[in-house]
Structure 1
Amino acid sequence: MIGGLAVIMPDDPGQYHPDALRSLAFLSLPLELPLLLAGLLLLPRRAAIALSLAAGLVLACLIFLKLADIGVLSAFQRRFNPYLDLKLLADGWNLFSGTVGRAGAAAAILGAATVLGLLVAAFLWSCLRLVHLGGRARRAVLAGAGLAFAGGLVLSFTVTRPDGTPLASLRAGPVLAERLALVVRSVADIRAFEAGLETPAPYAAGPDLLSAVAGRDVIVIFVESYGRSALEDPRYSRLTGPRLAAIEQRLAAEGFAMASGWAGSPTVAGLSWLAHATLMSGLWVDSQARHDLLMSSRRPSLNRLFSDAGWHAAAVMPAIVMDWPEAAHYGYDAIFDAKALDYRGLPFNWVTMPDQYTLSAFERRVRAPMRAAGTPVMAEIALISSHAPWTPVARLVDWAQVGDGTIFNDQAAAGDPPAVVWADPERVRQHYIATVDYSLETLGDYIARFGGEAVFVILGDHQPAALVTGPDASRAVPVHVISRDAGLVARFSADGFRPGLVPAADAPELPMDRLRGRLLHHFSGR
């Protein structure tokens, strides 16, 4: 019974919806069970015990893979990849514990591990009892197994489930074989990616490289969880639509031109550094394994190209709270992580500091000194106020009062804790879009006040989780190019972008790795 439930257990979070459970669409007859029963009863005792242990191992793998699929599908809208995803367990713990608290996260993980252990132990105990059956009971169970297998064979050819698969079939073997094939494909993919690292990057050299933006600050800003759904989902567009319209009107009045399009992100719901690496390298970095290979390669990053051309390349990363050895790959001239930004206020739960403080510190500590020195800045900035758990929601204050950040203490201490907010999916969605709205308002106000002659490239890093977007949402994120150089912005408009801050609904979703080439092409006047 335990083995059968493990085999037919749904591995898609959508199948746990009450309507799906009531439909019993997940029910099936796994033919492995009667075969296992026959093996336990017919094989010599030692071989049968060995079969029990092997079956227990298979059961543990199946349950683990299905639980992992539920978690990864809920977060990243794809299935668990043992080869690529085991490296992300620490990051998963950081996000989970930051949302529900360390005690709650530890209790949940310990509880799941305990349940898994008890299920496997109960299964092994049942198998060993069958091995030691004798006489009439042994013959009865064997006969039942034979009838079940024969009946299952008939059902496999005559009855199908709602998804078109046979009602009875071998299920455990194909699941494990498919996952093994996925690992094999992933290994081959990583080897091909490694070989491609040696291919020269396009637009990495030339006398006119970056000539169209010479002498001006170029500021690339990633807005956390700012995805296409924030602009087009009716639940969110009622807030973002008027916000973008107001920002567009104000910036136009200040002499800025704007153009917007879509970029396809290599990730969803998290792993923001994959999006950063994809844009800066011009390579599709959709896994931690690819990211690790890129970090150890000599592929010139966009940051390094600017630095080599005379810009002061800076990283402003308020979410970096530990050592960051990967920064060496990018070739920054200066790195402002959470510690270097010197925020003295209270954190907003997982979010170390509000976006307004990040931009204020960037203006004071990066742009102002370089402006005085006559050196243009190329900055890569991560804004994180719209990062889960999306509580509390920050509010814009007078820029002159930002100071060391302690002015935000009352905001940081306000609102419900994540465990309360996340108990209600609708509140999660409301908080999500409220934080995105804050990030957009802050950006619009910053550019209007301090933009000067800088060129801004603003984009989302990825879509939020399916809880916010719904299943099967696009993985695209908005991209905005903003500058007082109308001719430069017009090049993007002529290249598929739409004037203003709202991309056209039917505009193509340019893969983010190709966006780097477009930027270099237009920034070089080519």
Structure 2
Amino acid sequence: MNRTGTIHQIRGWRAALAMTIFVAVSFFACAMPDTPGGIQFTRTLRLPIEIPLLALALLLLPRRMAIGVAVLSTTVVFCLLFLKIGDLAVLSAFQRRFNPYLDLKMIFDGWNLLSGSLGALTAAVSIGGAVASLAALVLAFSWACIRITNLSDQVRRTAVAVFALLLVAGVVLQTANVRAGSDPVAQLRVSDYLGERLALVARSVADIRAFEAELHEEAGYPAGAPSFERIKGRDLILVFVESYGRSAIEDPRYSPMIGPRLEGVELQLSEAGFASASGWTRSPTVAGLSWLAHGTLLSGLWTDSQARYDRLMTSDRPSLNRMFRDAGWRTVAIMPAITMDWPEAAYYGYDEILAAKDLGYRGKPFNWVTMPDQYTLSAFESLARSPARDAGVPVMAEIALISSHAPWTPIPRLVDWSSVGDGSTFDGQAESGDPPAVVWADQDRVRRHYIATIDYALETLGSYISHFGRDAVFVILGDHQPAALITGPDASRSVPIHIVSRDRALVDSFKADGFSIGMTPSPQAPEPSMDRMRDVLISRFGGGQTE
């Protein structure tokens, strides 16, 4: 073969390769599902009409214009792949669509969760592989588009004929499907999908503007500074239990463990002289972003996005913590999951913050979980509550219990309170069980581990209150439901909320707000949103009336 023939052959192979890459990548970008339920082979057997349209533009337009189309189409393909990957991840984790306006700030938090569940190396390899694959697809598609604009006349004519036939077939099939009312075999979908994403961003921008107006309207105390006379002189201990959702109580997979546990805790508390009432409240988040729940309850404003939360943190809206501080309580935050600077704490108005490094834990971590809940409560008692009691000052404490945070391994066990010490007694527990990668390879096992950690958290709380509760008032609630892997799709966003106190009249007063006496909420009880619960607490503790 002469040199000219070899060159023609190479060009032919390049043209064939470019066409193959162009069709494969564009088809993948267009047909890739954007919901976990859409991952079905039959749903990919459709002709995206955008493919022949784009191919004809690259083949027929003057080369300079075609290059512009190639650049634009590469950008669109990147956006499609990026947004759909985001949709699949966020829908799987948080049961909502990916919102680039709100969610890009959470990449670091996603890394923390993934590395804590799978290990830093596995997480880095997974993310690196995904990024490299996406970059390779986009670069290959860009090369293919540019190459198509420079085909020989003979190859160009053949390609134009093929794609023109595909375009005609696609239009005919789409028209026939529309008339028949059946699922489309061919369709134009890209513009609708990207339009929906732009509309979502526009709605988010409008939502933040509306939230700004709400913040201005709600600045300052809504109806004068509450004095909380009903619980004057008593500690108020607000406890958020990680991933403690309604499913833990009502899902048939979990109720056989949690039902008896709640009954046992109720009996234990009753024997120690405590009464309890329980209800539901709807969380602004699911599967993560616990701070949104904290911000919602404590501010009394619906904070269901990172953008809303960020704006709340810079506002003058008084938090429930600040209200208690102004009424004479010493406000304390017990945050075992906080391992870095926490500038948002300034909004809440704490007198003291005990983050992970301040709690004095000398034991080994339980993977992502820095310390078990029993140690957290023991440290709170010795470092914050006892000194305040010695000074004759009541404490308003906000405590985050995190043993029930993913990856849910190893599972802690309750020990005698006198042996908690500096936490080194938990080292054997921290080194027990399988690593997250092994546990998470079996979905049923993940679920068993999840509910075991919820059971541990409730057992620990019951034991702590019966041993150290004294005359304190406890408000215990979940921050959010766990991920759909645990609850299944379309689960309620409600979480349990419990009121525990030796003041039976105070506990009984919550019945007017839909609470049931005892530690198990009624299945028929209302599910008010978590922002409304602040008004309920202010009212019942003597600071005003709810609407």
Q: Is the 8 A contact 1:312 1:378 kept in 2?
A: yes
| Secondary structure of the corresponding residue to residue 266 of structure 2 | helix
Aligned mate of 2:259, from 241, 245, 249: 241
Match of 1:84 in 2: 102
Match of 1:500 in 2: 518
Give distance in 1, aligned partners of 2:423 and 2:147: 66
| CA 1:206–1:59: 2 relative to 1, 3 Å | closer
| TM-score, structure 1 normalization | 0.96
Match of 1:64 in 2: 82
| CA 1:212–1:163: 2 relative to 1, 3 Å | farther
Q: Is the 8 A contact 1:221 1:383 kept in 2?
A: yes
Give distance in 1, aligned partners of 2:526 and 2:181: 32
* In the alignment, structure 1 residue 96 sits paired with structure 2 residue 114: yes
Aligned mate of 1:170, from 185, 188, 201: 188
Give distance in 2, aligned partners of 1:188 and 1:33: 34
Give distance in 1, aligned partners of 2:448 and 2:312: 37
How do 1:218-257 residues align onto structure 2 when only pairs under 5 Å count? 218-257=236-275
Give distance in 2, aligned partners of 1:457 and 1:264: 15
Give distance in 2, aligned partners of 1:27 and 1:432: 38
* In the alignment, structure 1 residue 368 sits paired with structure 2 residue 367: no
Q: Deviations over 1:135-157 (max 9, x none)?
A: 33222221222221222112212
Q: CA deviation at 1:109?
A: 1.2
More displaced, 218-227 or 152-161? 152-161
Give distance in 2, aligned partners of 1:29 and 1:405: 61
* In the alignment, structure 1 residue 8 sits paired with structure 2 residue 31: yes
Q: Is the 8 A contact 2:99 2:201 kept in 1?
A: yes
| CA 1:327–1:207: 2 relative to 1, 3 Å | closer
RMSD (Å) for aligned C-alpha atoms? 1.7
Match of 1:144 in 2: 162
Q: CA deviation at 1:208?
A: 6.0
Q: CA deviation at 1:161?
A: 13
| Secondary structure of the corresponding residue to residue 235 of structure 1 | coil
Give distance in 1, aligned partners of 2:289 and 2:453: 19
Q: Is the 8 A contact 2:330 2:393 kept in 1?
A: yes
* In the alignment, structure 1 residue 332 sits paired with structure 2 residue 350: yes
Give distance in 1, aligned partners of 2:417 and 2:179: 61
Q: Is the 8 A contact 2:225 2:323 kept in 1?
A: no
Match of 1:34 in 2: 52
Q: Which runs of no fewer than 5 residues in structure 1 stay unpaired?
A: none
The percent identity for this pair of structures is: 62
* In the alignment, structure 1 residue 268 sits paired with structure 2 residue 268: no
More displaced, 376-385 or 117-126? 117-126
Match of 2:403 in 1: 385
Aligned mate of 2:449, from 431, 439, 456: 431
How do 1:391-470 residues align onto structure 2 when only pairs under 5 Å count? 391-470=409-488
More displaced, 203-212 or 462-471? 203-212
Opposite residue 129 of structure 2, the aligned amino acid is G
More displaced, 173-182 or 431-440? 173-182
Q: Is the 8 A contact 2:236 2:396 kept in 1?
A: yes
Opposite residue 38 of structure 2, the aligned amino acid is Q
Q: Is the 8 A contact 1:161 1:167 kept in 2?
A: no
Give distance in 2, aligned partners of 1:80 and 1:273: 19
Give distance in 2, aligned partners of 1:163 and 1:180: 28
Q: Is the 8 A contact 2:226 2:538 kept in 1?
A: no
* In the alignment, structure 1 residue 213 sits paired with structure 2 residue 231: yes
Give distance in 2, aligned partners of 1:278 and 1:162: 48
Q: Is the 8 A contact 1:311 1:378 kept in 2?
A: yes
Q: Is the 8 A contact 1:201 1:282 kept in 2?
A: no
| CA 1:161–1:246: 2 relative to 1, 3 Å | farther
Match of 2:317 in 1: 299
More displaced, 132-141 or 455-464? 132-141
Q: Deviations over 1:245-275 (max 9, x none)?
A: 1011111122211111111101111110110
Q: Is the 8 A contact 2:219 2:316 kept in 1?
A: no
Give distance in 1, aligned partners of 2:262 and 2:99: 38
Q: CA deviation at 1:13?
A: 2.0
Aligned mate of 1:259, from 277, 286, 300: 277
| CA 1:199–1:55: 2 relative to 1, 3 Å | same
Q: Is the 8 A contact 1:316 1:335 kept in 2?
A: yes
Match of 2:507 in 1: 489
| Secondary structure of the corresponding residue to residue 186 of structure 1 | helix
Q: Deviations over 1:118-166 (max 9, x none)?
A: 2122222322332122333222221222221222112212227999653
Q: Deviations over 1:196-217 (max 9, x none)?
A: 1112369655476311111111
Q: CA deviation at 1:12?
A: 1.5
| CA 1:431–1:125: 2 relative to 1, 3 Å | same
Q: Is the 8 A contact 1:25 1:162 kept in 2?
A: no
Count the aligned residue pairs: 521
* In the alignment, structure 1 residue 127 sits paired with structure 2 residue 145: yes
Match of 2:297 in 1: 279
Q: Deviations over 1:404-435 (max 9, x none)?
A: 00000000011111111111111111110011
Match of 1:117 in 2: 135
More displaced, 311-320 or 208-217? 208-217
Opposite residue 12 of structure 1, the aligned amino acid is T
Q: Is the 8 A contact 2:226 2:323 kept in 1?
A: no
Q: Deviations over 1:98-129 (max 9, x none)?
A: 11111111111111111112212222232233
Q: CA deviation at 1:440?
A: 0.4
Opposite residue 30 of structure 2, the aligned amino acid is V
Give distance in 2, aligned partners of 1:249 and 1:443: 13
More displaced, 456-465 or 255-264? 255-264
Opposite residue 433 of structure 1, the aligned amino acid is I
Q: Deviations over 1:54-103 (max 9, x none)?
A: 11111111111111111111111111100000000111111111111111
Q: Is the 8 A contact 1:459 1:479 kept in 2?
A: yes
| CA 1:39–1:269: 2 relative to 1, 3 Å | same
Match of 2:65 in 1: 47
Q: Is the 8 A contact 2:31 2:48 kept in 1?
A: yes
Give distance in 1, aligned partners of 2:225 and 2:479: 31
Give distance in 2, aligned partners of 1:60 and 1:449: 58
Match of 2:9 in 1: none
Opposite residue 361 of structure 1, the aligned amino acid is A
Q: Which has the larger radius of gyration?
A: 2
Q: Is the 8 A contact 2:220 2:316 kept in 1?
A: no
Opposite residue 524 of structure 1, the aligned amino acid is G
Q: Is the 8 A contact 1:25 1:161 kept in 2?
A: no
Q: Is the 8 A contact 1:34 1:145 kept in 2?
A: yes
* In the alignment, structure 1 residue 343 sits paired with structure 2 residue 361: yes
Give distance in 2, aligned partners of 1:118 and 1:164: 36
Give distance in 2, aligned partners of 1:269 and 1:202: 32
Opposite residue 342 of structure 2, the aligned amino acid is W
